[in-house]
Amino acid sequence: MSDLHTLSVAELADGLRDKQFSSTELTEHFLNRIEKLDGKVNSFITVDADNARKAAKAADEQRASGDTRALLGVPMAHKDIFCTEGVLTTCGSKMLHNFISPYDATIVKNIREAGFISLGKLNMDEFAMGSDNESSYYGAVHNPWNLDRVPGGSSGGSAAATAAGFVPVATGSDTGGSIRQPASFCGLTGMKPTYGRVSRFGMIAYASSLDQAGTFGRSAEDCAYLLQPMAGHDPRDATSINRTVPNYVELLKEAKNNVGDKPFSGLKIGVAKEYFGEGLDSEVENHVRAALKQYEDLGATIVEVHITDPKVTLATYYMLAPAEASSNLSRFDGVRFGYRCDNPKNLEDLYTRSRSEGFGPEVQRRILMGTYALSAGYFDAYYTKAQKVRRVILEDFEKAFKECDLIACPTAPTPAYSLNDELDPVTMYLGDVYTIAVNLAGLPAISMPAGFTEAGLPVGLQLIGNHWDDDKLLTTAHLYQQHTDYHTKLSAIAKESI
């Protein structure tokens, strides 16, 4: 079947169950697409074809022996920030260009045990620092909708691979919008769960109090299928919360079966004027407001809420995140693992040259920013003050959620911009202006397709939920997608046959 890559996760699972195709056939289909088309996109760093074929053969044998796991034999791929035993795990960097992980991240293990087959590791901005996937040591990733555009970052490889039809779903990580912004740019649904819902064990850290693993799929349903095995308490992660995980997939099925003319009756959606200010592209705003009108037509009530000025939030994030990065990345010193400079003269030379040669410009910039913020003379003036503002940001969200169930806004202020635009760092950071508050407050959020510009570029709508309302976000997005077809549209690369 030449169109296997256009099927949803549910359709793939049903096809495997009903023996319409085997996992081996399915895996070969995706591997062939990667081999013949990824040269245009550059979404993969490592294609783990041999292990994928072995896993697919094993999955077929297990099904024949009576294994009834719904997802057994469905392909996927991981962002190259998640440690995978025996597989190169680079974090998109020169620093870890030769690092083969000796263990699995918890989510890698859980996803494998659910039956998914990993096809490899996906390209990303170096150490997850970037908004366009141009800072990767392995080269820029191209947007499958328009190869001259960026896919977003830092999980750009995950978004591009899913949008190109190389995998049906993929993992990503989100520190300040790194799942939601690429989902918006690539016409996908991207889910960032509540902080603590998904284990961070084995995810190479950028900013530990902000990082959260999540999912990419074409639809909310696809995301739910992948999130299900990822979510849950992990005693190896001190930030993991021991809280019952809902059955996301069943909740979506129940919601779909109970759809009436007004599926959102009783739902209050908050809209903050702070998210519709200066810098928002007019086409993006028009599509987002049209989506809100459709929610209203389907029974939802739109209410006005207020949140912290996004400019304040942006400044807070770019004080705290680099500070944590400065601390986390100090372990990469050329001594224990990763890149090591040639012929160091002494220990100081080893440290200095290994880090200077092993880290790219964007990573060095953020390390320096963070080190400055943590220095003795500026710690209280900058870092401590930013932590206090972070608390205010959370309190503003708490006040808003007393007035509404969810908050809606644009995911990104613009559609995907051109590759090699050579944006200055501040302009690039402004691309995260609508997403970073979610991470600072530890909230869940989802981005989903809400239309296309005249140039054919996707536009994303972001829904933000209160803590632990992940299921409500998935359900609300899923029901919206029963009344729209934006998520079914295929990118230029996905339309290509092989």
User: Per-residue pLDDT tens for 104-149?
Assistant: 999 999 999 999 999 999 999 999 999 999 999 999 999 999 999 9
Residue 1 above 70 pLDDT? no
pLDDT at position 255 is: 87
Please tell me the distance from the alpha carbon of residue 173 to that of residue 269, in angstroms, as a whole number.
26
236, part of any domain:
yes
- The separation between CA 358 and the C-alpha centre of its own chain, rounded to angstroms, equals 25
The tally of domains found in the chain comes to 1
493 domain-assigned: no
CA dihedral of 465, 471, 475, 481, whole degrees rounded to 10: 80
Inside any domain, residue 254: yes
User: Is 184 contained in some domain?
Assistant: yes
> Are 154 and 429 a contacting pair, CB within 8 Å?
no
Of 47, 169, 125, the residue nearest 428 (C-alpha): 125
| Distances 297 to 254, 262, 301, 483 between C-alpha atoms, Å | 22, 8, 9, 11
Does residue 421 surpass a pLDDT of 90? no
Residue 378 or residue 223, greater confidence = 223
The edge-to-edge listing of strands for the beta sheet with 189-192 is 44-47, 117-122, 75-79, 169-174, 212-217, 189-192, 445-452, 458-465, 406-410, 268-272, 301-305
pLDDT band at 460 (very low <50, low <70, confident <90, very high): very high
Average pLDDT over residues 392-404: 98
Q: Is the pLDDT of residue 377 over 90?
A: no
Angle at which helices 470-481 and 282-297 pack, to 10 degrees?
A: 90
For residue 23, cis peptide bond before it (omega within 30 degrees of 0)? no
Q: Percent helix, strand and coil across the chain, each rounded to 5?
A: 40, 15, 45
The separation between CA 400 and the C-alpha centre of its own chain, rounded to angstroms, equals 25
Q: Write the CATH number for 449.
A: 3.90.1300.10
Q: How confident is the model at residue 75 (pLDDT cuts 50, 70, 90)?
A: very high
DSSP, res 488: G
Residue 411 maps to a domain:
no
Cα dist from 378 to 319, 326, 372, whole Å = 11, 15, 7
Judge whether 121 and 46 are in contact, CB under 8 Å: yes
Contact residues for 343 (Cβ-Cβ < 8 A; gap 6+): none
- 135 touches 153 (CB < 8 A): yes
Query: Is pLDDT above 90 for 429?
Result: no
- Write out the residue range of the structural domain in which residue 46 sits: 4-260+444-488
Instruction: Note the pTM of the prediction, 2 decimals.
Output: 0.97
Long-range CB contacts (within 8 A, 24+) of 109-112? 110/199, 110/229, 110/230, 110/232, 111/76, 111/78, 111/171, 111/226, 111/229, 111/230
**Token pair of 351 as six digits:** 């440290």
In a domain, 39, yes or no: yes
Q: Which residues contact 437 (CB under 8 A, 6 or more apart)?
A: 307, 308, 310, 313, 393, 397
| Spatial distance between the Cα atoms of 111 and 226, rounded to a whole number of angstroms | 8
What is the Cα 108 distance to its own chain's centre?
15
Kindly state the average pLDDT of the residues 171-176. Answer: 98
Q: DSSP readout, 106-147?
A: HHHHHHHHTT-EEEEEE--SGGG--SSS-S-TT----BTTBT
What mean pLDDT is predicted for residues 353-363?
96
Q: Does residue 448 sit within a domain?
A: yes
What's the CA dihedral at 141, 147, 148, 149 to 10 degrees? -60
Positions annotated as catalytic residues are: 79, 154, 178
Mean pLDDT over 219-246 rounds to: 97
Distance of CA 339 to the CA centre of its chain: 27
The rounded mean pLDDT for the chain is: 96
Give the pairing type, strands 189-192 and 301-305. Answer: unpaired
Residue 402 is assigned to a structural domain of this protein: no
Measured in residues, the chain has a length of: 498
Give 381's DSSP letter: I
What does the alpha-carbon distance between residue 212 and residue 440 come to, in Å, rounded to a whole number? 11
Q: What are the φ/ψ torsions at residue 264 (nearest 5 degrees)? A: -105, 20
Q: How far is CA 242 from the centre of its chain?
A: 23
Are 43 and 147 in contact, with CB atoms under 8 Å apart?
no
The CA-CA-CA angle for residues 460, 272, 286, to 5°, reads 40
pLDDT score of 427:
75
For 253-310, how does the pLDDT look when each residue is reduced to its tens digit (9 = 90+)? 998 776 678 899 999 999 999 999 889 999 999 999 999 999 999 999 999 999 999 9
Q: At what angle do helices 361-374 and 310-328 cross, to 10 degrees?
A: 100
User: Does the pLDDT of residue 56 top 70, yes or no?
Assistant: yes
What is the predicted pLDDT for the residue at 292?
98
